């Protein structure tokens, strides 16, 4: 044990010329340890002994003395490098424990000993295996032997060669162990597992996940609440916009409708989702009438016995809120015997439905293009349908408060009541003109190809002539019983319009008509049939004043 010769005040224990331990003690004046990063010898002043540090110009030294008649204190270092005061252990340093004991200098170990190891003392077994014993002349202590084992990456155990902990032998492999009562003490190298703190990390992870989930749920709930509030606000605005003077549709305790029998009032009614749900038997497939561009159409029955048709806006529909509002607002203002009658609507969250009077014969296309049902439509019925559609269009174009262009006039949008009277329906695509307006351009061309006028399909020009063209196509379909966009003619690949025009030029106009059982079109050259389909891209040869209805009436035979 020496005083450090380098600048500074500390004690040093050397091992093979290298610092093994450093430390100091508390002085009398300030009770301050020196060095500050070393071990401080305990001050026992007033009990057994005291340390005194003396510094002058020539030297620095320390001494210690007993007190209270105690036996002269003795500091000693044993052969293992441990520092004792009497029998009291003050310092114990080893290569493995030096990282934790105060004052011990950390030893450098090879890379294979990076983990935390410890030696397990074993004195009950005799080990056999690959053992290497160092020369006795090396005078290796047990500490030296331990160091040799740690610096040999193959070493798995060590022991002193003699009983007095002198000499050294190490094992690199232990194939077998036998129990013995007189076995020498052997130190087995064992990995010192760090305290398993997995549960701490588990708690932290689970806690973090719970916090994230709670935050996510809170955020989702707030977002949902905000979205619901916004949806309710928009829903109220939409109901106010559509309803105007609408009457809420209610059902009393006996299941009878109040204030809304749907027959004698022209008011628009607001239906609850529950009432529609019950009326359609939970939108059952048995009550499904069909599906159009707006969405599925269901048949329903109100508590008062009135049958209704419900158009339910589909999420996958190409039409949306704009078309829904357009149809509800527009058709509610139109009153004509040849226009389908809107009874009311239902808006609840994502559900948007329009409620119409029920048409038992459904749509015209079901009869017109069916191989069997088409013969139900005799010429008188067909002519009545043509005239009814014409009357409805004249009302839209001329006699309603605003000029209305339907833009999607076709057979599937003509509904038939129980007496086969036509009703124009589906006003979602309709366009409204002011009293002075007669023509507009649009970038959004909607409708059904085959029924669109050339100037509308190609240039987006919208006018009443757009509907007149569609009416002409529909008229040809009613007369012939064939679709315009289908090829039914083996001798010609042309569509129905061109085919009819070709027959006209060949003086065979009557060949277009249905012929069964003597029911034929008696007018051989009906100019009122083709007049609405002429004019190419300009459409100006199509009459726009409604006098063409007189042509239809005058053609009756």
What amino acid positions are annotated as catalytic residues? 408
Q: Where are the alpha helices (DSSP H) in 374-526?
A: 379-394, 454-459, 464-480, 496-505
How far from the centroid of its chain's Cα atoms is residue 211's Cα? Answer: 20
Q: Which residues, in sequence order, are CB contacts of 159 under 8 Å at separation 6+?
A: 145, 168, 169, 184, 185, 186, 187
Q: Which residues, in sequence order, are CB contacts of 451 under 8 Å at separation 6+?
A: 408, 409, 410, 469, 470, 473, 474, 484
Whole-angstrom Cα distance, residue 71 to residue 65?
Answer: 10
Whole-angstrom Cα distance, residue 229 to residue 221?
Answer: 12
Q: What is the DSSP letter of 108?
A: P
In terms of C-beta distances under 8 Å and separation of at least 24 residues, what long-range contacts does 74-83 make, across chains too?
75/1, 77/1, 77/13, 79/141, 79/165, 80/141, 80/142, 80/143, 80/165, 81/13, 81/15, 81/20, 81/21, 81/143, 83/1, 83/13, 83/21
Whole-angstrom Cα distance, residue 24 to residue 18?
Answer: 18
In the chain, what is the greatest distance between 2 CA atoms, to the nearest angstrom? Answer: 150
Length of the chain (residues): 557
Whole-angstrom Cα distance, residue 155 to residue 129?
Answer: 12
The H or E element spanning position 143 is: helix 142-150
Q: How many CB atoms lie within 10 A of CB 433?
A: 17
> Contact, 22 vs 9, CB < 8 A?
no
Bridge partner residues of 296 (DSSP): 291
Q: Which residues, in sequence order, are CB contacts of 389 under 8 Å at separation 6+?
A: 338, 409, 414, 422, 424, 471, 474
Whole-angstrom Cα distance, residue 470 to residue 431?
Answer: 15
How far from the centroid of its chain's Cα atoms is residue 386's Cα? Answer: 52
Whole-angstrom Cα distance, residue 131 to residue 139?
Answer: 18
139 phi/psi in degrees, rounded to 5? 50, 50
């Amino acid at each position: 044990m020496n005083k450090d010769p380098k600048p500074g005040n500390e004690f040093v224990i050397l091992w093979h010329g290298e610092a093994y331990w450093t430390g100091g003690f508390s002085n009398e004046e300030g009770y301050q340890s020196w060095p500050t990063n070393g071990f401080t010898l305990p001050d026992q002043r007033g009990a057994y002994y005291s340390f005194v540090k003396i510094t002058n110009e020539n030297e620095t030294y320390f001494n210690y003395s007993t007190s209270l008649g105690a036996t002269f204190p003795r500091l000693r270092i044993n052969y293992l490098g441990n520092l004792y005061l009497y029998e009291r252990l003050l310092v114990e340093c080893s290569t493995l424990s030096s990282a934790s004991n105060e004052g011990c200098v950390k030893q450098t170990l090879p890379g294979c000993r990076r983990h935390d190891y410890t030696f397990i003392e074993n004195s009950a077994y005799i080990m056999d295996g690959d053992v290497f014993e160092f020369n006795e002349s090396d005078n290796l202590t047990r500490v030296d032997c331990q160091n040799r084992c740690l610096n040999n990456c193959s070493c798995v155990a060590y022991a002193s060669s003699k009983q007095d902990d002198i000499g050294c032998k190490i094992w690199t492999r232990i194939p077998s162990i036998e129990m013995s009562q007189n076995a020498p003490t052997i130190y087995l190298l064992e990995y010192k597992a760090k305290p398993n703190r997995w549960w701490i990390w588990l708690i932290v992870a689970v806690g973090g996940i719970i916090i994230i989930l709670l935050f996510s749920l809170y955020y989702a709930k707030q977002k949902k609440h905000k979205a619901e509030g916004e949806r309710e606000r928009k829903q109220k605005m939409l109901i106010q916009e559509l309803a105007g003077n609408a009457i809420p549709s209610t059902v009393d305790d006996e299941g009878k409708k109040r204030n809304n029998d749907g027959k004698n009032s022209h008011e628009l009614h607001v239906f609850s989702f529950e009432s529609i749900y019950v009326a359609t038997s939970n939108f059952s497939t048995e009550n499904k009438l069909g599906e159009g561009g707006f969405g599925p159409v269901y048949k329903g029955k109100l508590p008062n016995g009135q049958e209704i048709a419900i158009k339910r806006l589909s999420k996958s529909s190409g039409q949306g809120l704009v078309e829904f509002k357009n149809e509800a607002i527009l058709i509610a203002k139109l009153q004509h015997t040849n226009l389908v009658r809107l009874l009311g609507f239902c808006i609840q969250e994502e559900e948007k439905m329009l409620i119409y009077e029920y048409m038992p014969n459904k749509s015209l296309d079901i009869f017109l293009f069916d191989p069997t049902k088409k013969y139900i439509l005799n010429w008188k019925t067909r002519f009545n349908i043509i005239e009814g559609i014409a009357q409805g269009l004249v009302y839209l174009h001329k006699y309603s408060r605003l000029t209305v262009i339907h833009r999607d006039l076709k057979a599937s949008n003509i509904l038939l009541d129980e007496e086969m009277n036509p009703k124009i329906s589906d006003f979602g695509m309709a366009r409204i003109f002011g009293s002075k307006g007669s023509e507009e351009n649009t970038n959004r061309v909607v409708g059904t190809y085959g029924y669109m006028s050339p100037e509308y399909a190609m240039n987006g020009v919208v006018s009443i002539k757009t509907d007149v063209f569609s009416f002409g196509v529909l008229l040809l379909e009613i007369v012939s019983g064939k679709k315009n966009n289908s090829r039914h003619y083996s001798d010609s690949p042309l569509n129905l319009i061109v085919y009819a025009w070709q027959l006209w030029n060949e003086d065979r106009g009557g060949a277009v008509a249905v012929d069964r059982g003597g029911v034929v079109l008696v007018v051989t050259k009906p100019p009122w049939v083709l007049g609405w389909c002429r004019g190419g891209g300009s459409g100006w040869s199509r009459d726009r004043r409604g006098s063409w209805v007189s042509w239809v009436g005058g053609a009756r035979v």
